[in-house]
Amino acid sequence: MQNAEIVLVALRNLGENGKPLERVYRQLYNETLYLAAYSKLYRNDGALTKGTQDETIDGMSLNRIHSIIEEIRMERFRFSPARRVWINKKNGKKRPLGIPNFEDKLVQEVIRGLLDAYYEPRFSSNS
């Protein structure tokens, strides 16, 4: 497996040169991308908030990352429904807030990182 930074730089170069993004799905098998995503998520205040399952960031391990990768490889990974809570707004009304499971957050962060590396160079620096 390639280092996460090498993969993201390669995707950034593809985006800068306007080349198509192909076979990005196989990067979801890269363990280092999950470790990079974990490093962004663990310091978040909501990392210990439970979703619809009782799992949080506390029980994170390489074995857990390997099981997620294996589920993705075997096409068995499914995002779970988010837990819905209603939070108060300043005007007295309430708004819905969806709280996903930690595994879903982790996979979403990996996908966000891949797509961000590819598409960010394409945006204007003036926007």
DSSP result, 51-99: -SSS--GGG--HHHHHHHHHHHHTT---PPPPEEEEEE-TTS-EEEEEE
- Amino acid in the structure at residue 89: K
Read off the tokens for 78. Answer: 């499914």
- What is the pLDDT confidence band of residue 123, given thresholds at 50, 70 and 90? confident
Task: Using the predicted structure, report yes or no on whether residue 44 has a pLDDT greater than 70.
Answer: yes
Measured between alpha carbons, how far is 4 from 120 in angstroms, rounded to an integer?
A: 17
What is the model's pLDDT at position 45? 72
Task: Using the predicted structure, report yes or no on whether residue 1 has a pLDDT greater than 70.
Answer: no
Mean pLDDT of 10-21: 91
- What is the pLDDT confidence band of residue 47, given thresholds at 50, 70 and 90? confident
Q: pLDDT per residue over 95-114, tens digit each?
A: 999 988 889 999 999 999 99
What is the model's pLDDT at position 119? 92
Measured between alpha carbons, how far is 20 from 13 in angstroms, rounded to an integer?
A: 11
Task: Using the predicted structure, report yes or no on whether residue 22 has a pLDDT greater than 80.
Answer: yes
Contact predicate 27/117, CB 8 Å: no
